[in-house]
Amino acid sequence: MVATMKRPHNFSAGPAVLPEAVLRQAAAEMLDWHGCGMSVMEMSHRGKQFEQICDEAEADLRELLSVPDDYAVLFLQGGGLGENAIAPMNLIGLREAHAADYVLSGSWSVKSSKEAKRYGDVAVAASAEQAMDIDGKQQGAWTYMPDPAAWKVRPQASYVHLCSNETIGGVEFTDWPDLAALGAPETVLTVDASSHILSRPMDVRRAGLIYAGAQKNIGPAGLTIAIVRRSLLGKALPICPSAFDYGIVAENDSRFNTPPTYAIYIAGLVFKWLKQQGGVAAMETANVAKAALLYDYIDSTGFYRNPVHRPVRSRMNVPFILRDDALNAEFLKQAEQARLLQLKGHKSVGGMRASIYNAMPIEGVRALVDFMKEFERSHG
């Protein structure tokens, strides 16, 4: 019965909604993958079946993001926060100074910079912590992206770190600068793209490393993706665990030790689903339409408000505050009754947050906007 019932719309920031078609295929293949008599969970990570699953997932991800051949694609564990330590352990030693500069644009990049301090000389390249006047409008803390032209990048820094989509604040930034133009030609850009990878085309070449926890826009928690320029491999600090040394993992095709096999399998199904949808360009078109639907409505009313500077509003994570905080509990209760799930905002921002990742159909956003209108009508 459950199988034929329409599922609710799930706006969780992560772990997040997956394409229904993928869940159905995984269910159908749960006990017996392609007639081999085993579940993917029961296979050796060195056997021919899993090798095929893993290699296809990598090839499909490469195709989707147009990853050049001189970049390795790694399937790791440890999540986004794990990468906050793993990335410095691999890259801060690229240059003698063991220095790294961080762009602070919200909760996640602040966390990244704190973790990196254990591994070297970390400085702030730019920060959005202070309220600022932009285009004649006062922008509050963490509601804008510091202008790259004003980033202070030390020429001796091994890398500059950026979070290209701040999942909590709802700030997205994809116009990645050329660090040579900022006076640091040997410094590489590292990007935490956890919450918007595959939602739009990305210029992989602009970065030396792009990483992402899978549970936002790719697949199950437990898998972390790293896309890293091969010329940066092999420079890990001696304290870096072998299983997290990008060079070692790359040499072993992500099977140095047992990778999160089932999560890789589901991610692979999501990649095939994305290709069927038309790839990341088609996803971008859909995501632009979904985001516009929600932001246009929010901007049209005084009842709801999104504080983020318009050019860097996230297409994936849309925080919105109700005019009266006392209505939050009632909003969430009625939303759940309307089968709109997990809309509670992060405690640091308050209000609501609608995460509208690739797997959220536009019907879900329409249902949310219709609900918000009705709630405004009855409580405004």
Ligand X SMILES: *Cc1c(COP(=O)(O)O)cnc(C)c1O
- Respond yes or no: is residue 108 known to be catalytic: yes
Question: How many residues at the interface with ligand X, by CB under 6 A?
Answer: 12
Shortest distance in whole angstroms from residue 359 CB to ligand X: 16
Is 353 assigned to a binding site? no
Residue 260 Cβ vs ligand X, minimum distance, rounded to whole Å: 12
Give the burial class of 51: count Cβ atoms within 10 A of its Cβ; 0-12 exposed, 13-18 middle, 19 or more buried: middle
Q: Is 194 in the site for ligand X (CB under 6 A)?
A: yes
User: What span, in angstroms and rounded, lies between the C-alpha atoms of 334 and 354?
Assistant: 15
216 is an active site residue: yes
14 sits near ligand X (criterion: CB under 6 A): yes
Q: Binding ligand X by CB under 6 A: which of 93, 213, 220, 247?
A: 213
Structure tokens at 186: 């040997």
The answer to whether the annotation marks 224 as part of a ligand binding site is no
* Residue nearer to ligand X on the CB measure, 26 or 212: 212
- Nearest distance from residue 373's CB to ligand X, in Å? 29
Candidates 216, 273, 290, 344; catalytic one: 216
* 167 has binding-site annotation: yes
Give the one residue of 113, 167, 254, 342 binding ligand X; rule: CB under 6 A. 167
Q: Which is nearer to ligand X, 14 or 148 (CB)?
A: 14
Question: Does residue 88 bind ligand X (CB under 6 A)?
Answer: no
142, 192, 273, 344: which is the annotated catalytic residue? 192
Nearest approach in angstroms of CB 192 to ligand X is 5
Q: Judge whether 211 and 83 are in contact, CB under 8 Å.
A: yes
Binding flag, residue 195, ligand X (CB under 6 A): yes
108 binds ligand X (CB under 6 A): yes
| Contact residues: ligand X, CB under 6 A | 14, 79-81, 108, 163, 167, 192, 194-195, 213, 216
**Binding site for L-glutamate: what residues are annotated?**
46
User: What residues act catalytically?
Assistant: 108, 192, 216
